[in-house]
Amino acid sequence: MMTAETTNEQLLLRPVLTPLMSFGEASERVLDHLRTLIPMSLWSVTAYDAESGRQVYLHLRDESGRRSPGDSVVWSQSFCQHMVTGAAPQITADARAVPQYRAASLAHDIGAYVGVPISTGDGQLFGTLCASDPHRQPDGVLEQHAASLELLATLLEQILAREQLQAEAEEREANLRWRAFHDELTGLPNRALFNDRLDHALALHKRDHRPLALLTLDVDDFKAVNDTFGHAGGDELLTQLARRLRSAVRTPDTLARLGGDEFAILLEDSSDTLTVPGVEQFANRILAALSEPFLIAGQRFEAGVSVGVANLGPEASPSAAEALLNHADVALYSSKRNGKLRATVYHPQMQLPEARDLQLREPLRAAIENGDIQDFYQPVVALNPLAVVKVESLARWTHQGRPVSPEVFIPLAARSRLLPALTTLMVARACDQLSRWCQTLGHDQFGVAVNMPPSLLTDRAFPSRITAQVTRAGLHPRQFTLEITEDALLGDFTTARRVAEELHDQGFRLALDDFGTGYSSLLHLRSIPLNVVKIDRGFTSDVDTNPQTRRFMQALLTMGHDLGLRVIVEGVERESQADVLLSLGATHAQGYFYARPAPADQFDLSTVKQPLNPTTML
């Protein structure tokens, strides 16, 4: 228990330290106070450096002038290490008078000694608050200040802990800021940072007529890389490719990974580099830098790259970022159509199908925002006995009175980054319609499948969003099957697997669409928590006429069933195909033979089969 005298002394310490002081400022204040309170020839705040095994003087008051901040001594030879380990007292009027400390005190020229450990927030030794003097002190003089020394050391610990927490928070914040604008795999700027710099460059062009050029590039047949080397090999290729691109671009250029195997380069300056010939020369230099084989999993691998270029000269009319990106994309597709491994500069006369698609971009965006996309439904059937077990929701769009094929507007939505918004709309429509159907059926054992774009499988917030969307409609996640393709697993596979696991834990069923089109499908079967695989329609078209296709279909069905997965065969259009599938042991199918996609009001609920319990739902 504190004495009255000790308590009063501690009250005098309040002005010495304030909560917002830095550790360094607090240490200086403490040393000034203690030197006045307890005259000793050396007062110091030290740090123990475990890596070097030394005691470092951070702050000190040394009457001899022999030591300066930053000086250090070997920790094992320091008298403080005896105090920390308990082999020497924290306070002694004359260490030489104690036989077991006499040798150490003589070695360090220590008579009187005071030392208190300073710990970090997690209890590890940070250093010491200590003092020494070659002369002894009168008995009882040092001991009366013991409580004050402990209190000052504790206050320094609290300030140190606050600084460490603040530093950790600042580091986390900096890391979050970095991750928000950079690609974790390659360390390059991501799409968000690239778009920001592109907007800034376009603003300078509009104000000062400063030229700029935009290059987009991607790896030709990147899917084959993943099929051959797995996702680790694909990631290694992207990392090496980014490294080579870094060495090829100039300091003022912005190099970014936009996603998957897509990269972009923004050129900004006022030199001849940004003339059409100069940009072409730069693009060819990029191709040359990537022409040498890459070493993937110990094997030499040649990765072809195509480049699209859009430049904006000083006299060109101002352009929007999206328009310039569209031009570069059209040029990129032209490179691929003309044999790949080349760079193409955009010109307005290009008449690629993709260029014509650009006329639909804004109408499609408006249709999604205004809810003008229709939801059609196609049944998925059990084959024996024949009955509808669920439906797949499919988007349909009519523009200016004419239907636009999904094969046109779905890829366009992907290139325009509209698929997440389209998915949100389709899930909302599916929720409303499924709720009405379940009310009519009198049970909730009926479900719907919705296509999920690749970008949402790397969106950590997506599981909570779609769960809230489904539960608000009074439905259960088990009634929803989210269909993904292999493209969803080609980018950030670690995040994709984590998101898939969160969706599975919430109760959603996951289906791998277009199964069988690549070897990597086999890897995905054991990498993410799938419930269903859908065999691509390419294996169904001639299953009733080609014995080899029939054997392959049998192998796919057997593999899926052996892995405990439900298997749906897509693209059944003829009765003869359906008969063959039944003979091969197929249990579920989908296709025009059973029903074409149609609006919800044309769906016959009497064909729906109710499962015995929720666990048997497809």
Beta partners for residue 23, in sequence order: none
Q: What is the reported pLDDT for 307?
A: 93
Query: For residue 611, what pLDDT is reported?
Result: 63
User: Do residues 99 and 105 lie in contact, with contact meaning Cβ atoms separated by under 8 Å?
Assistant: no
Over residues 576-600, the mean pLDDT reads 94
Higher pLDDT, 527 or 360: 360
Are 540 and 512 within 8 A, CB to CB? no
Confidence band of 508 (pLDDT split at 50, 70, 90): very high
What is the pLDDT, as a whole number, of residue 616? 53
pTM: 0.48
Gap between the Cα atoms of 27 and 22, Å rounded: 8
The CA distance from 103 to 77, in Å, is 12
Q: What is the mean pLDDT of the chain?
A: 86
Q: pLDDT band at residue 300, thresholds of 50, 70 and 90?
A: confident
Pick from 135, 38, 147: nearest CA to 90: 147
Q: Which two tokens stand for residue 303?
A: 């990765």
Phi-psi domain of 571 (left: phi exceeds 0; alpha: psi -120 through 50; beta: other): left
Q: Return d(Cα 189, Cα 193) in angstroms, integer.
A: 6
Q: In sequence order, what are the residues at sequence separation of 6 or more whose Cβ sits closer than 8 angstroms to the Cβ of residue 224?
A: none
Q: What is the pLDDT, as a whole number, of residue 3?
A: 41
Contact criterion met (CB below 8 Å) for 14 and 26: no
Per-residue pLDDT tens over the stretch 119-174 = 998 889 999 999 999 998 888 888 888 888 888 999 999 999 989 888 888 888 88
pLDDT band at 314 (very low <50, low <70, confident <90, very high): confident
Domains in the chain: ranges and CATH? 4-169 (3.30.450.40), 191-350 (3.30.70.270), 373-530+567-572+581-609 (3.20.20.450)
Over range 587-596, report the average pLDDT.
93
Output b/e per residue, 416-444; b: 16+ Cβ within 10 A.
Answer: bebbbbbbbbbbbbbbebbbebbeeeeeb
Strand-pairing partners, residue 116, are 129
pLDDT exceeds 80 at position 486: no
* Mean pLDDT computed over 273-292: 86
Q: Is the pLDDT of residue 455 over 50?
A: yes
Quick check: 328 and 310 in contact, CB under 8 A?
A: yes
Q: How far apart are CA 503 and CA 483, in angstroms?
A: 12
Tokens 């988007």 — which residue? Answer: 395
Percent of the chain with pLDDT over 70: 90
Residue 267 to residue 276: CA distance in whole angstroms:
12
Q: What is the pLDDT of residues 563-580, one digit of tens each?
A: 888 999 999 999 999 999
Q: φ, ψ for residue 484 (rounded to 5)?
A: -120, 160
User: Which among 572, 569, 617 is positioned nearest to 595, based on CA atoms?
Assistant: 572
Instruction: Report the pLDDT value the prediction gives residue 398, as an integer from 0 to 100.
Output: 95
What are φ and ψ of residue 438, in 5° steps?
Answer: -65, -35
Q: Across residues 346-365, what is the average pLDDT?
A: 73
Q: How confident is the model at residue 615 (pLDDT cuts 50, 70, 90)?
A: low
Q: What is the pLDDT of residues 77-106, one digit of tens each?
A: 888 888 888 877 788 888 888 777 787 778
Q: How large is the average pLDDT for residues 18-37? A: 88
In 3D, which of 21, 57, 43 has the Cα closest to residue 160?
21
Mean local confidence (pLDDT), 393-399: 95
